[in-house]
Every structure is written in C-alpha cells, then in structure tokens.
Structure 1
Amino acid sequence: MSKESLHKHLANERTFLSWVRTAIAIVGIGFLITNLHVKSSVSWLSDATVLTIGILAVVTGVLTIVMSVISYFKKINQINEQTFRSSKMMVLCLAVMMILIISIFGFYFLTL
C-alpha cells in the first residue's frame, strides 16, 4: 500500500469516527431536551412536540451511523480502485433531518 493510499484510508476512518460522534451528539441532544422538558411540563402540545423531537433525534442518530458505515465501506473500495466520489446523499439526508428537528425545536420554544 502506498503512502498516499494509507493517508486516504486514515482520512476515511477519521471521517467515519466524526460521523459517529455527530450521531452520538444528535441523540444526546434529543435526550437532553426530553429530560429537561419532563421537569417543566406545560401542556399536551409541548409534551407531544418534545416527544417528537426526542424520537426524531434518535432516528436521525441511528440513520447517521448506518449511513456512515455504508459510506465508509464504499469509500474503502473507491480508494482502492481510485474512483472516489463524494457522498452527497448522506449529507443531504442528514441536513434535511436536522432542519426538521431544529424546526420542531423552534416550534416548541414558540409554544412555551
């Protein structure tokens, strides 16, 4: 394995670990919001909103990990075959999910 190829594989691993850390942070934020809300429950609408945020955060975190594993293994093959392509779909899916969570979070603060 050439030195350049080794650097690409190491960069691929760092990227994978970054996605995993991102997924853990997303799930953690969902749990944090849910736990903070339990102590200050206001109405059924805010309860439903917080529950939705929590569920979406967990689903987004799990999807991020699944997509990052798929992307990691695809990139291994692409690096070895020297046919690297960036993963636009993964970034787009994560961005859409985060925009949805943040929008619901904004709605939650407006209804307090």
Structure 2
Amino acid sequence: MMGSTVDSMYIQQHLANERTFLAWLRTALAMKGIGFLIFGIELATDLGTPLTRTLAAAFSVLSFFAGMTVLVIGTVLFFRNRRTINAQQFKASGPAVLIAGIAVALVMLMLMIYVLLVSV
C-alpha cells in the first residue's frame, strides 16, 4: 500500500478546486474570444464606420485584459485554495471574485455599447 499524502486526505476538495479552476479558465477564454470575434467581424465587413472600428478595437483590447485578469485570479486562487485545503484553513475569496465580476461586467457593457452602435 502506498503512503498517504496530505493531498490524498482531501481528494474531493482538491477535485472541486480543479473543476473551479477550469471554470475560471473557460470564462477567461470566452472573454478573450468574444473580443477577438467582434474585432474580426468588424475587419471582415466593410459596413463599419471609423467609430465602430475604434470601438471594436477597444473592445478587443478590454476583453483580452479582462480575460487575462480572470485567468490570473483563477490561477492564484487555485494555488491558494490548494494550500489552505491541506492546512484546513480555507477562506472564501470575496475580493478576487468581486474583481473578476467587475471585469466580466465591463466586457458585457462594452459588448452592449458596440452592438447598439452597430445596429443604429
């Protein structure tokens, strides 16, 4: 029989932590993808105005950095949670979730503004 490690004592918690990290990763990739998609559509069509092209570029940059922010937060939380699960000192991550929520809200707001300007 193999020796037991600290990680093996909390297998379910560590698996949940990994699933949560993967959710952060999917969110970050979706945020980046939305920005690139809008910018690609804007470049591929000749229907845009200078304002919508500038807005699409700004949206793409914002969504990239928001996605990177979410990815960094998710990665930091994964390793912090891993450490605190083993130490039996887990703490909820309020400020990090708030920052990620603000980043997602900004991307959604920019998307709404872009769609409204393009549809007019």
Please indicate, yes or no, whether the TM-score normalized by the shorter chain is above 0.5: yes
Q: 1:58 aligns with which of 48, 61, 64?
A: 64
Are positions 1:17 and 2:22 aligned together? Answer: yes
Partner Cα separation in structure 1 for residue 75 and residue 62 of structure 2: 20
Task: Write out the 4+ residue segments of structure 1 that deviate beyond 6 Å after TM superposition.
Answer: none
Are positions 1:49 and 2:44 aligned together? Answer: no
Partner Cα separation in structure 2 for residue 32 and residue 108 of structure 1: 12
- Find the counterpart in structure 1 of residue 73 from structure 2: 67
Are positions 1:38 and 2:43 aligned together? Answer: yes
18-27 vs 36-45, which deviates more?
36-45
Structure 2: runs of 5+ lacking an equivalent:
1-5
Partner Cα separation in structure 1 for residue 90 and residue 33 of structure 2: 32
* Contact 2:35–2:63, Cα closer than 8 Å, also in 1: yes
* Amino acid in structure 2 at the alignment position of 1:16: F
Distance 1:2 1:65, change over 3 A: closer
* Amino acid in structure 1 at the alignment position of 2:112: G
Partner Cα separation in structure 2 for residue 22 and residue 95 of structure 1: 11
* TM-score normalised by L of structure 2: 0.83
- Find the counterpart in structure 2 of residue 106 from structure 1: 112
Q: Between Structure 1 and Structure 2, how many residues are aligned?
A: 112
* Amino acid in structure 1 at the alignment position of 2:21: F
Partner Cα separation in structure 2 for residue 14 and residue 28 of structure 1: 21
Q: 2:34 aligns with which of 29, 34, 55?
A: 29
* TM-score normalised by L of structure 1: 0.89
Partner Cα separation in structure 2 for residue 30 and residue 2 of structure 1: 38
Partner Cα separation in structure 2 for residue 105 and residue 9 of structure 1: 35
| Bigger CA radius of gyration | 2
Q: Considering only aligned residues, what root-mean-square deviation do their CA atoms show, in Å?
A: 1.7
